[in-house]
Amino acid sequence: MVKKEFKAESKRLLDMMINSIYTHKEIFLRELISNSSDAIDKIYYKDLTDDSLTFNKENYYIKVTADKENRVLKVSDTGIGMTKEELENNLGTIAESGSLAFKKENEMKDGYDIIGQFGVGFYSAFMVAEVVTVISKALGSDQAYKWESQGADGYTIEECEKDSVGTDVILKIKENTEDENYDEYLEQYKLKSIIKKYSDFIRYPIKMDITESRLKEGTEDEYEEFTEEKVVNSMVPIWRKNKMELKTEDYENFYAEKRYGFDKPLKHIHISADGLVRYNAILFIPENMPFDYYTKEYEKGLELYSNGVLIMNKCQDLLPDYFSFVKGMVDSEDLSLNISREMLQHDRQLKLIAKNIKNKIKKELENMMKNERESYEKFYQTFGRQLKYGVYDKFGSNKDFLKDLLMFYSSKEKKMVSLEEYVSRMPEKQKYIYYASGESVEKIEKLPQIEVVSEKGYEILYFTDDIDEFAIKILMNYKEKEFKSVSSGDLGIEPEENENKADDKENENKVLFEKMKNILSNKVKDVRVSKRLKKHPVCLANDGEISIEMEKILKSMPTDQNIQADKILEINVNHEVFKSLKTAYEQDEDKLSLYTNLLYNQALLIEGLPVEDPVEFSNNICKIMK
Ligand SMILES: Nc1ncnc2c1ncn2[C@@H]1O[C@H](COP(=O)(O)OP(=O)(O)OP(=O)(O)O)[C@@H](O)[C@H]1O
C-alpha cells in the first residue's frame, strides 16, 4: 500500500492545528459530532430533491462508543459517507471543506443548518489520538474505504468492508502524559458531559452505551451493573420551540439544567428574531444575586451557539455592564466564526444582536415596572445598584437609556417610586426634584434639612446607596426638572410672607457670623441664617457640586484625594440657643468660641460625620456643665 503524503502546506497546518488552534482538547468531540450531523443533513437535503430516497428519521443517528481496554473511541454515523475521492479530497487536504462545497453545489440557501465550513475541524482529533482511522461507505456506493493517518506523516487509503452507508471515525487515544489525562476521553461520564456541553442540541440522536447499576431482582442490597443504549443529547433546543407551547416551568428547568443559577429565575425573555439579524435567545433575570456578583471573579456574558453548537461559554460582547446580571444564551446562524469556533471575527452581526438584546431587556424591565411592580421592586432591590452604576459609568453615555428604570424611596409614598411618577405629581410651584442623602431611610427622616421641604408638602427622594448621588449628578435632570439636595445652599423655595425676614436677620448679625467663621477658621465656607431649620438649632448645608454625603463616600475610598464639600453652618435664629450665642458674643469671647465649636460639632454629628477632635469636644461639654 502506498503511503500518500499530505500536501506540504497541509503538513504545517496540521502541526499548527494540533498544537495551537484550540484551547480545549475536548472540543475534538464537538467537531467530529458536528461532521456526523452535517453528513446526516446532507442525506436529508438530498432526499428533499431526490424522489428515489426516503428519509426516515428513525434510521439516522450518531453513536459514540468507548473501549477503555483498547483505548479506542469511535464516533459512527449513518450519514452520507465518503467515496474514495472524497476521503482523499476532504481528509487529505486540510482546509478543504466538503461541506462548504456541498452547500455551494446544492445552492443551499444561507442559513441552512450545515455546520462545517473551514475544513479543519476533523484534524482536531489528532489532539487526543495517535492514530485516526476513518471507515466510510458513501450513499449509492457498494465499496467502503478505510483512511488512516498517524498525524503529520501522511495517510493511507484502502478498500475495506462496511455493511451500511455512513462513517466510523476511530481514534486510538494517546497515552497519558504528565500534563494531560487522555484517559478521561474514554470515560463514560466525561464523554457524556462533553456531549451535553457542546452538542446537546444537535438535531439527531447521539447514542451511547451507558452502564449503570441497579438493585438485583429479588435482593435488597445486592447491586448489578447493566448496559443500555441511551440517547444522551436533548436534540430540540428549547429556543427553537414555539413560545406558545412552552410553560414557565420549561424555562425554569432549562435555567436549572444549564446551571445559570441555583435560584429560580425571576423573569425569562424568549426572543425569536427574524429581521435584519436572525437569532434565537433565552435570557433570564435571576431572582438572587450570584454570590460573586460584586467581585472581580464574576464574569458577565451569554452562551453563544452557532446552529445549535456551543461556540463560547460567556460571550461578553453580548451584554452591556449595566445588564451584567442577565444569564442565558443566544443561537444564530449568521455569525462569522473564526477557524477554531472559539472566537468570533469582529462581527457586525454580533453587534446588531447585542443591540437588539439590550433593547429587549430594557423593554421587559419597563413592562415589569409597570405591570408587575412587586417583581420589579424585588429585582431592583437586588440589581438596581448596577443600573445606577450604568447611569454614572462611561461619563453618563447611557444615562438616557437607563433613566426610566431608576427608582428611589419616596418620603410621601413610603415606598420606591420612579422618576416619572415623582415628576408627574409635582405641584406646579415646585421647581426641583428634591432628594436627601443618608445611610438609611430612618436616618434621613431625622435630618433637620428635610423639614422645610417636607413642610412645603414636597416629596423627597431618599438616597441611601453610595452611588445614588453620583448617578444623579451625571443625570442632571429628568424631564427638564433639575435635582436638588435638601442640603444645598439655595433650595429654590419661595419664602412665606412672614419668613421673609431672613435677609434682615442676616444683616443684623453680620459681625457675629463673621466672627464665628473666623473661630472655625477654614472648616466652613460661611455661617448663615437658616431658612430651612424649624426645630433644630444648627445644620450643615453645602455650596457647589460636592455634597457632604459625597465627601463621606470619597473619603472612604482607598484613593481618597481629600475632596471636600464646601460646608455652610446654618443657624436657626429663632432657637433658644441663638439667644445664648448672642449674649456670649456681647459679653464673653471665650464663651462664643466654646459655643461656636460645640454647634459646629453638633452639626457634624447630625450629618453622620466624625467630630474632628473628640477629646476637645467632650471637654467643651464638661465646660458648659460646670
Ligand atoms: N462523518 C463524516 N461523514 C461524511 N463526511 C465527512 C465526515 N467527516 C468529515 N467529512 C468531510 O470532510 C470534510 C472536512 O471535515 P472538517 O471537519 O475538517 O471540516 P468541515 O467540517 O468542512 O469544516 P470545519 O472546519 O468548519 O468543521 C467535511 O467538509 C466533510 O465533507
Mutate to test the pocket of ligand 1, among 99, 118, 124, 165 (most ligand atoms within 8 A of CB): 99
Q: So what's the pLDDT on residue 388?
A: 96
pLDDT tier for residue 6 given thresholds of 50, 70 and 90:
low
Q: How far is CA 190 from the centre of its chain?
A: 28
* Grid cell of 394 as nine digits: 462611561
In a domain? residue 3: no
Pick the residue whose CA is nearest to atom 28 on ligand 1: 98
Residue 498 has pLDDT above 80, yes or no: no
SS (HEC) of 563-604: CCCEEEEEECCCCHHHHHHHHHHHHCHHHHHHHHHHHHHHHH
Identity of residue 606 = I
Q: Which of 374-388, 501-515, 567-581 has the highest mean pLDDT?
A: 374-388
Residue 251 CA to ligand 1 center (angstroms) comes to 34
Residue 392 CA to ligand 1 center (angstroms) comes to 49
Instruction: Write down which residue in 337, 371, 405 finishes a domain.
Output: 371
Residue 112 has pLDDT above 60, yes or no: no
Residue 499 has pLDDT above 60, yes or no: no
Residues listed for the chain = 626
Tell me the C-alpha distance between 67 and 173, whole Å.
10
Residues 6+ apart with CB under 8 A from 138: 80, 81, 82, 83, 86, 165
3-state SS assignment for residue 55 = coil
DSSP secondary structure letter of residue 407: E
Torsion angles phi and psi, residue 272, rounded to 5:
-125, 95
Q: Based on the domain organization, do 114 and 70 belong to the same domain?
A: yes
CA-341 nearest atom, ligand 1: 26
Smallest CA-to-CA distance from 491 within 540, 527, 531, 539 is with 531
Reported pTM: 0.75
Tell me the C-alpha distance between 93 and 13, whole Å.
10
Looking at residue 607, which CATH number applies to its domain? 1.20.120.790
Smallest CA-to-CA distance from 299 within 333, 324, 269 is with 324
Q: What is the mean pLDDT of residues 57-72?
A: 94
Quote the ipTM score.
0.97
Tell me the C-alpha distance between 211 and 214, whole Å.
10
The number of C-alpha atoms within 13 Å of 428 and in the hemisphere containing its C-beta is: 0
Cβ atoms of 333 and 307 closer than 8 Å: yes
Tell me the C-alpha distance between 426 and 452, whole Å.
16
DSSP line for 203-233: SS-EEEEEEEEEEPTT-SS-EEEEEEEEE-S
Tell me the C-alpha distance between 104 and 126, whole Å.
28
Q: So what's the pLDDT on residue 448?
A: 84
Q: In what order do the strands lie in the sheet with 526-529?
A: 526-529, 566-571, 538-543
**Annotated binding-site residue numbers:** 31, 35, 77, 82, 90, 97-98, 117-122, 167, 341
3-state SS assignment for residue 346 = coil
With a Cβ cut-off of 6 Å, ligand 1 is lined by 31, 35-36, 39, 77, 79-82, 90-91, 97-100, 116-123, 167
The number of C-alpha atoms within 13 Å of 118 and in the hemisphere containing its C-beta is: 16
Residue 271 has pLDDT above 90, yes or no: yes
Pairing of strands 416-418, 407-410: antiparallel
In a domain? residue 493: no
Pick the residue whose CA is nearest to atom 19 on ligand 1: 119
Q: Based on the domain organization, do 347 and 406 belong to the same domain?
A: no
Residue 23 has pLDDT above 70, yes or no: yes
Looking at residue 295, which CATH number applies to its domain? 3.30.230.80
Tell me the C-alpha distance between 310 and 302, whole Å.
11
**Annotated binding-site residue numbers for ATP:** 31, 35, 77, 82, 90, 97-98, 117-122, 167, 341
Looking at residue 426, which CATH number applies to its domain? 3.40.50.11260
Q: What is the mean pLDDT of residues 41-67?
A: 84
Looking at residue 108, which CATH number applies to its domain? 3.30.565.10
Q: Based on the domain organization, do 261 and 194 belong to the same domain?
A: no
Instruction: Write down which residue in 230, 265, 287 finishes a domain.
Output: 230
Q: What does the pLDDT look like over 333-374, one tens digit per residue?
A: 878 776 666 666 667 888 999 999 999 999 999 999 999 999
In a domain? residue 17: yes
Encode burial over 41-62: b for 16+ CB neighbours within 10 A, e otherwise. bbbbbbeeeeeeeeeeeeebbb
Q: What is the mean pLDDT of residues 10-26?
A: 73
Q: What does the pLDDT look like over 474-496, one tens digit per residue?
A: 999 999 999 999 888 778 776 66
CA-75 nearest atom, ligand 1: 1
The number of C-alpha atoms within 13 Å of 126 and in the hemisphere containing its C-beta is: 24
* Grid cell of 409 as nine digits: 424611596
Q: So what's the pLDDT on residue 211?
A: 93
Residue 223 CA to ligand 1 center (angstroms) comes to 43
Of the chain, the percentage scoring pLDDT greater than 70 comes to 91
Identity of residue 217 = E
Tell me the C-alpha distance between 36 and 309, whole Å.
13
CA dihedral 600, 601, 602, 603 (to 10 degrees): 50
Residue 99 CA to ligand 1 center (angstroms) comes to 6
Smallest CA-to-CA distance from 84 within 142, 133, 166, 145 is with 145
DSSP secondary structure letter of residue 161: -
State the DSSP H helix or E strand holding residue 169, giving kind and residue range, or none if neither: strand 166-173
Maximal CA-CA distance, the chain: 121
Q: So what's the pLDDT on residue 624?
A: 82
When divided into structural domains, the chain yields a total of: 4
The boundaries of the domain holding residue 67 are: 8-230
Average pLDDT, the chain: 87
Residue 550 CA to ligand 1 center (angstroms) comes to 61
Of the chain, the percentage scoring pLDDT greater than 90 comes to 49
Q: Based on the domain organization, do 248 and 363 belong to the same domain?
A: yes
Residue 82 CA to ligand 1 center (angstroms) comes to 10
Residue 38 CA to ligand 1 center (angstroms) comes to 8
Mutate to test the pocket of ligand 1, among 80, 108, 122 (most ligand atoms within 8 A of CB): 122
Mutate to test the pocket of ligand 1, among 22, 35, 88, 102 (most ligand atoms within 8 A of CB): 35
Q: Based on the domain organization, do 262 and 153 belong to the same domain?
A: no
Tell me the C-alpha distance between 626 and 585, whole Å.
20
Cβ atoms of 468 and 408 closer than 8 Å: yes
Pick the residue whose CA is nearest to atom 6 on ligand 1: 35
Q: Based on the domain organization, do 518 and 537 belong to the same domain?
A: yes
Q: Strand (E) positions, 232-359?
A: 265-274, 278-286, 302-306, 309-315, 327-332
Q: What does the pLDDT look like over 559-615, one tens digit per residue?
A: 767 778 888 999 998 899 899 888 988 888 888 999 999 999 998 888 878 888 899
Instruction: Write down which residue in 451, 485, 519 finishes a domain.
Output: 485
Tell me the C-alpha distance between 517 and 502, whole Å.
18
Q: Based on the domain organization, do 22 and 98 belong to the same domain?
A: yes
Taking residue 495's Cβ as centre, other Cβ atoms within 10 Å add up to 13
In a domain? residue 174: yes
3-state SS assignment for residue 66 = strand
Q: What does the pLDDT look like over 206-227, one tens digit per residue?
A: 999 999 999 998 888 899 999 9
Tell me the C-alpha distance between 418 and 434, whole Å.
13
Residue 353 CA to ligand 1 center (angstroms) comes to 28
* Grid cell of 547 as nine digits: 455634597
CA-123 nearest atom, ligand 1: 18
Pairing of strands 477-478, 278-286: unpaired
Q: Based on the domain organization, do 317 and 279 belong to the same domain?
A: yes
Residue matched to cell numbers 431672613: 502
In a domain? residue 189: yes
* Grid cell of 8 as nine digits: 506540504
Q: Based on the domain organization, do 183 and 199 belong to the same domain?
A: yes
In a domain? residue 377: no
Q: Based on the domain organization, do 447 and 518 belong to the same domain?
A: no
Q: Is the dihedral of CA 203, 209, 213, 217 positive or negative?
A: positive
Q: Based on the domain organization, do 216 and 98 belong to the same domain?
A: yes
pLDDT tier for residue 522 given thresholds of 50, 70 and 90:
confident
Q: Based on the domain organization, do 399 and 442 belong to the same domain?
A: yes
Choice among 167-171, 289-293, 361-365 with the minimum mean pLDDT: 289-293
